[in-house]
Chain A
Amino acid sequence: MAVQIENTQYMEKLNAKIPDGPLALKWTNYKNSVKLVNPANKRKIDIIVVGTGVAGAAASSSLGELGYNVKTFSYHDSPRRAHAVASQGGVNAAKNYQNDGDSVYRLFIDMIKGGDYRSREANVYRAAEVSNQVIDHFAALGVPFARDYGGTLNTRSFGGVQVSRTFYAKGQTGQQCLLASYASLNRQIKKGTVTMYPRREMLDLVVIDGRARGIITRNLITGETERHSAHAVVLATGGYGTIFYLSTLAVNSNATAAWKAYKKGAFFANPSFVQIHPTSIPQMNEFQAKLTLMSESLRNDGRIWVPKTKADKRPPNEIPEEERDYYLERRYPAFGNLVPRDIASRAAKERCDAGYGVGPTGLAVYLDFRDSLNKQGKKAIEGKYGNLFEMYRTITGTDPYSEPMRIYPAGHYTMGGLWVDYELMTTIPGLYAIGEANFSDHGANRLGASSLMQIAADGYFILPVTIGNYLADQIRVPGIKAEGPEFEEAEKSVADRLDKLISISGKQTAASFHRRLGKIMWDFCGMTRNEKGLLKALELIKDLRDEFWKDLRVPGSLNDLNQELEKAARIADFLELADLLVTDALNRKESCGAHFREEYQTPDGEALRNDADYTYVAAWEYAGEGKPHILNREPLRFEEAEMKVRSYK
């Protein structure tokens, strides 16, 4: 599938439906003119929501409050376990409580710039605009945000920006935001407006007459395949960063739902835009299943360095000051240790590749708190980062108060995802994608603490409004029944695929394929990419996929709880998505944000954007089994934000 073809015929499919009017008034204008569904009709309309992260739980509860019949699905045993629970640092909003000059406009500009001018202005502006409502809502729902002595909300600053706009609940902001959303979901479950289906994995989308009308799920306890129908389907299934095998994501996160939607006709946008987070605890053993993030906030007080001599094996505290290379401070004097994530990650990789890495594998750099500890005292540092230091000690067994932390970049967040228009609808009518699952508002690189903001905005405030525009025309469609050839066909294909997976009876475990795929992706399509490597990756992926379908072993049975089968099905999809991801990286012959093509860099090693040719969203279309993916372009226009070279020097 190395080749790609371009699509000019279907451009109308890519209508982003951006409302008219000045940027600041688009959302208001849209709300003023959007079609409404009257309350009596809402009760007759069914909506499926897949996923219970902040995005899915927020959407389910808000749609339930409006009076729709909502059916919500998750492969977790409880909605409260969705991956959003693991977000640490905070959630952004343009409240300007600090009087430091923040505004909706500034948040918008920061996101556009942080995303390296590869996101859609209207969507980003709306996210920034809604951010204030998100904070109001979370506070009302009882999120125990940090407060000042007078009882007002506190904020802190986060990487890549110059204002303090990040609201937080220690290092567990995501947990608190998710649990608040879980609580509002529970309230609707109690009222009966939402029916929760836990331990169900969506394995296919059902499209009838071109519209999304249902899903096929596997009951993870009994193994049964089930059909569920609705007037509209919302995917809030999170990101696919686990394609790298080792990542900061929860290990069960996967791309299956989005991938099935892609194969049923939804376009997949910018799949190669994957954020690599600079500060995670490095891999320690070969069985390691995930990497643990050390929050970005640590870079406020920690200094990053490597020894000046190659392969220096001395313990860090024995390396004198003059033999340390604080390479971020050296290369980026203006932002120093606080450069955005993509830049910090690449700089760490550059040092390690050059042979200056530390630790047993040489794949780590130091994050040193010595100076801050001396200046501010242990108590102050403990107050800010106590739980992170504790977590580091628990995992590594070394004490970050007396020895610098060892950190290394790790796959973290996927800016790419299902293509959606202004209404968050995919290219399949009636199929919506929200949260990290869509290609979202982060362009080629996401700024810290803006995901929680966006996923909550999508779920609470945007989708419940925009979905009405579609459903208003659906009120005369009687309750959709889970029958007919489309349901049968989808259910059969799910059953066949599972059957195929279990009957290969080879020798290797699903996880071992995942590990190998992850390595290919990391080596050739990770922090830096080049054409040769990407082409090689395509071959390696194809070989691995062939091997997978020949030598996989899934023990156990189909109609039972079978975790190996669950894994195998997800990895089968990853093996297909990997191909698209690499294809997208090959196509984009420029460096922007997290996408760094070695061929396109400035003489001093910074990303070199090509605005003339690549100011577009690459929206890929499925052409059929074994056929090349089709590229559709949504040109991006910057009317408010001036396109500049990102510089943090």
Chain B
Amino acid sequence: MKLTLKIWRQKNAKSKGKFVIYKMENVSPEMSFLEMLDALNKKLVETGDEPVAFEHDCREGICGSCGMYINGHPHGPVPAVTTCLLSMRYFSDGDTITIEPWRALPFPVIKDLIVDRSAMDKIQIAGGFISVNTGAAPEANSILVQKKNAEDAFDSAICIGCGACVAACKNASAMLFVSAKISQYALLPQGRVEAKDRVRAMVEKMDELGFGNCSNTGACEAECPKQIKLTNIARLKREYYKAY
């Protein structure tokens, strides 16, 4: 199929960016979205241009590296997939596809479609852990966890830190991302011990970094490739109130 791509190009953090239009031919519906961009980049390099910079690694939806804003949706129009797993089957011949980087104050653009997501690490550094030194752990089965709680904790723990929730939120809020970690630990007895310190520290860091507040709009949940639920945010709030 033939496609028109409208891609945000920006040389580096300091320069101003603009959209550049590229025509693509012979795009196979079997390709993934990133393979389609690989094909574009091959063409660009061979004709002496700089390829479009974008982040990617595992290409199977687990590392959270990839992420671009495609036609008004983080990770594109198909729900519950990352950009790397987005198949070109979902586009049709003649489509124009507009590709932009994540937009948020704490996510400055580094180059083209690559943004700096270290703010998400900073929130995790503030408190996203359980304080156990190597060697200090008790026998694994001495900590019993209700099956249901273990499963719910898992459902929260599978967040891949891609930032699509921030990108989709009208307020660029990171609440879903933060609440996923808070929930995972809140649901496990191992995590309860320092639950109060954790939620205080993580919320404080999130605010400090300039993420917006939560309006309970639910765009995050709708765009999250791992289907992290809004119930996590309610749990974060409960944990926060309990902490004071």
Contacts and interface: CB of A to CB of B under 8 A. Distances in A.
Interface in B168-212: 184-185, 188, 190-191
A285 B32 CA distance: 10
B60 to A, nearest CB: 5
Interface stretch (B1-9, B93-101, B137-145, B232-240): B137-145
B58 A555 contact: no
B157 A144 contact: yes
B74 interface: no
B150 A145 contact: yes
B178 to A, nearest CB: 14
Contacts of A79: 121
Given A555-B48, A555-B51, A563-B51, A250 B128 contact: no
A534 B87 CA distance: 37
A250 B145 contact: no
A81 interface: yes
Given A250-B63, A395-B85, A83 B145 contact: no
Name which of B57, B65, B190 has the most chain A CB atoms within 10 A of its CB: B57
A477 interface: no
Name which of A61, A198, A561 has the most chain B CB atoms within 10 A of its CB: A561
Interface string B52-71: 01011111111111000000
Given A80-B161, A136-B140, A394-B81, A556 B38 contact: no
Interface residues of B, number: 79
B134 A461 contact: yes
Contacts of A461: 134-135
A76 interface: yes
Contacts of B65: 76-77, 81
A460 B134 contact: yes
Interface string B95-135: 00000000000000011001011101100111011111111
Contacts of A464: 134
B147 interface: yes
A153 B38 contact: no
Contacts of B87: 394-395, 397
A65 B62 contact: no
B127 to A, nearest CB: 8
Given A561-B53, A561-B110, A391 B137 contact: no
Interface residues on A, range: 35 or more
A228 interface: no
Name which of A140, A170, A187, A561 has the most chain B CB atoms within 10 A of its CB: A140
Interface string A269-300: 00000000000000011011110110000000
Contacts of B138: 136, 140
B130 to A, nearest CB: 5
A292 B60 contact: yes
B150 A76 contact: no
Given A78-B118, A86-B62, A509-B46, A183 B129 contact: yes
Interface of A: 58, 61-62, 65, 76-81, 83, 85-86, 95, 97, 133, 135-142, 144-153, 169-170, 172, 175-176, 179, 182-184, 186-187, 189-190, 198, 221, 250-252, 284-285, 287-290, 292-293, 391, 394-395, 397, 460-461, 464, 507-509, 511-512, 553, 555-556, 560-561, 563-564
Interface of B: 11-12, 28, 30-32, 34-36, 38-39, 41-42, 44-46, 48-51, 53, 55-65, 81, 85, 87, 89, 110-111, 114, 116-118, 120-121, 124-126, 128-141, 143-147, 150-151, 153-154, 157-158, 160-161, 184-185, 188, 190-191
22 contacts: A65-B133, A81-B58, A86-B62, A97-B141, A133-B137, A137-B137, A139-B137, A141-B130, A141-B137, A184-B134, A251-B58, A251-B59, A287-B36, A289-B34, A290-B59, A293-B60, A391-B61, A397-B89, A509-B41, A555-B50, A563-B53, A564-B45
